[in-house]
Amino acid sequence: MKKQVVLYKKLSPLLMARLHEQAEVTLIENLDADGLARLRDALPRAHGLLGASLKLDAELLDLAPDLEAIASVSVGVDNYDIDYLTERRILLSNTPDVLTETTADTGFALILATARRVVELANMVREGRWQRNLGPAHFGSDVHGKTLGIIGMGRIGEALAQRGHFGFGMPVIYHSHSPKPAVEQRFNAQYRSLGELLQQADFICLTLPLTAQTERLIGTEEFALMRPQSIFINISRGKVVDEAALTEALRAGQIRAAGLDVFEREPLDLDSPLLQMDNVVATPHMGSATHETREAMARCAVENLLAALAGERPANLVNVRAWKA
């Protein structure tokens, strides 16, 4: 008897075929009101779930008494109740390694776009406002040789350090829950307390997960430590930052600019004050969003799910305590 799998993220034909070999598949293509109703109708039959960007809380998952595994097409798992899943022995897996390089590329895209005012100046060309050679009013800031500060030295933080050190000759300083000797050796990176990093870095990049400990880690006090020429980059989760404090820091000139791929509420409201500022580059949570990487993530999630439904330990098990001894 094939297991019942509910997908709330569309997969490529190749991966759909892979799933159909092993499971009965219900696809919920959109998570609009109708899609969510269809998802709730499908949960009572579900043994496995696969998707991303949906908060799967106890209220919803109590509708799925036979659920064995959830495969998230993401590295972040802040939208899952890990304790609830572990208590129910539901195996949660994610897709950590396959998106590291692409997400770090996004981080550097934001560093360069924000420092060199790429969006603002490209729009000036597009709108016919390029009338003469650029003067100081339109100059950006250099990236090469500046101090790269990384908060959260995991896989993505390391990949960012690699780009800064080898690609742009940037001194790298970092803050993490513990020192990383291997990173220090590879990239001549130096550990700093959070306060020291905020005071010393020219680029301050958030690459840490959203947890109870990191929620609103960067707020009014932290922005006050930053230098007026510093540039703030967030490719982690919006809720790691107090967005009102960020807006005020930009308005007050406490920081020069911000490159943001994630926000407290997504999609970002069109009336957000962040969208009224030329020194803010805002992108739509595009961190891992390339054809190659999203297919690799989906492939990883499918294999994680099929392994779990076959009684095997998934390669990327998040809640290890849920795995039977």
Catalytic residue numbers, as ranges: 237, 266, 285
Rounded CA-CA distance 291/238 in Å is 24
Which 44-103 residues touch ligand 8YV, going by CB under 6 A? 52-53, 73-76, 99
In whole angstroms, the minimum distance from the beta carbon of 181 to ligand 8YV comes to: 27
Residue 168, Cβ density class (10 Å: 0-12 exposed, 13-18 middle, ≥19 buried): middle
Closer residue to ligand 8YV, CB minimum distance, 78 or 184: 78
Q: Which residues make beta-bridge pairs with 51?
A: 72
SS3 133: coil
Closer residue to ligand 8YV, CB minimum distance, 73 or 198: 73
In whole angstroms, the minimum distance from the beta carbon of 79 to ligand 8YV comes to: 9
Q: Does 290 bind ligand 8YV (CB under 6 A)?
A: no
Structure tokens of 26? 């219900």
- How many residues bind ligand 8YV, per CB under 6 A? 11
In whole angstroms, the minimum distance from the beta carbon of 293 to ligand 8YV comes to: 8
Rounded CA-CA distance 308/316 in Å is 10
In the shown chain, the binding pattern of residues 268 to 287 toward ligand 8YV, with x for contact by CB under 6 A and - for none, equals -----------------x-x
CB 80 within 8 A of CB 70: yes
Rounded CA-CA distance 102/292 in Å is 9
Q: Which residues make beta-bridge pairs with 190?
A: 173
Closer residue to ligand 8YV, CB minimum distance, 96 or 140: 96
**What are the angstrom distances between the C-alpha of 102 and each of 211, 274, 291, 295?**
23, 25, 11, 12
Closer residue to ligand 8YV, CB minimum distance, 43 or 297: 297
Which of 46, 97, 40, 44 has the alpha carbon at shortest distance from 70? 46
Closer residue to ligand 8YV, CB minimum distance, 249 or 297: 297
Which 97-126 residues touch ligand 8YV, going by CB under 6 A? 99
In whole angstroms, the minimum distance from the beta carbon of 206 to ligand 8YV comes to: 12
- Residue 224 has phi, psi (to 5 degrees) of -65, -25
Q: Does 238 bind ligand 8YV (CB under 6 A)?
A: no
Rg (CA), the chain: 22
**Which residue from 114, 254, 288, 304 is in contact with ligand 8YV, where contact means CB under 6 A?**
288
CB 203 within 8 A of CB 145: no
SS3 109: helix
Rounded CA-CA distance 92/313 in Å is 10
CB atoms within 10 A of CB 299: 18
In whole angstroms, the minimum distance from the beta carbon of 261 to ligand 8YV comes to: 9
Closer residue to ligand 8YV, CB minimum distance, 2 or 10: 10
2 secondary structure, DSSP code: P
In whole angstroms, the minimum distance from the beta carbon of 285 to ligand 8YV comes to: 6
Give contact residues for ligand 8YV (rule: CB under 6 A): 52-53, 73-76, 99, 285, 287-288, 297
